[in-house]
Amino acid sequence: MSPEDHAAQTVERLLDVLDLEVTQARTTEDIFTGASHPMPTGRIYGGQVLAQSLIAAERTLPEDRAVHSMHGYFLRPGDASQGITIAVDRIHDGRSFSTRRSQAYQNGVPIFSMIASFQDADPGVEHAEPMPEDVPAPEDLSPDEDRVAGLPGGTARMLSERAADIRHVDSPLYLPSDDPHVARQAVWMRMRAPLPDDQRLHRAALAYLSDMTIQESILRAHGVYWAMPGLKVASLDHAMWWHRPARVDEWLLYVQESPNARGGRGLATGRIYSGEGGLVASVAQEIMIRVPAD
């Protein structure tokens, strides 16, 4: 298989996961069902349920009313071998804003709960934090899977099978590195193949990408790496604000930092920029992190 065909295949699998089915079952909520990505850990990737919950909510709204913020909680680990059911509650529809609650279920219990707000296009005051300068271009960096080639455990293969091309500006955190222990990092990211011209799909795919690597500003501050024996990390919540339209099949710079870690929890924040420097979205996530005493 050619690299181009392989890239298209990885993105097609993602599109299949985001293509939810509408069921005939009705309560007071809209009910959708979807599939899950196979994962090496057996747990659903958090960005998947984020994107699916957003897709489900947007299915209950006109196309011109776009999401501008969401706040979600990861309640239970999801089983990647099973499908997922999403219930959408139409909480409020106003003249300019709408509010939806999406809850994702497996085996009859919620694994994720989200409230999102949607708005019609509206002019107003505008400013944005500028994109950092002196960041290497993505073309000057190697894909993560090339930088971990030869590692045991199939890490390179796993990275090459994901729909996103991720390129760390610093060393990827799959093994120990000699990089400074600082609570910040930057990564370039984009989907490996073009997506349809549907901004709702691009917004959901951006939510999917937003859960990748954001935890690493916390890990990097303490010299922690993903393969560290005994390390336990779990996402607790996730918040996101969409500022400007963008395509996720074009390069985006994800600038991340951690302002605090304490009590077995760490907070990470991120800003996502287009290749032209426009601030596309802001992200915040708190994680549970338990580092071995040794």
Q: Pairing state of beta strands 65-74 and 232-242?
A: antiparallel
CB–CB of 18/205 below 8 Å? Answer: yes
| 279 Cβ neighbours under 8 A, 6+ residues apart | 128, 129, 131, 243, 244, 271, 272, 273
CB–CB of 91/237 below 8 Å? Answer: no
Catalytic machinery residues: 211, 235, 285
CB–CB of 181/221 below 8 Å? Answer: yes
- Calculate the CA 104 to chain-centre distance: 16
Nearest-CA neighbor of 232 among 285, 289, 176?
289
Side chain identity at residue 236, one-letter code: L
d(CA 260, CA 283): 15
d(CA 58, CA 52): 10
Alpha-helix runs per DSSP H in 137-198: 144-147, 155-160
Residues in the chain: 294
d(CA 254, CA 214): 8
Which stretches of 7-49 are assigned E, i.e. beta strand? Answer: 21-22, 30-34
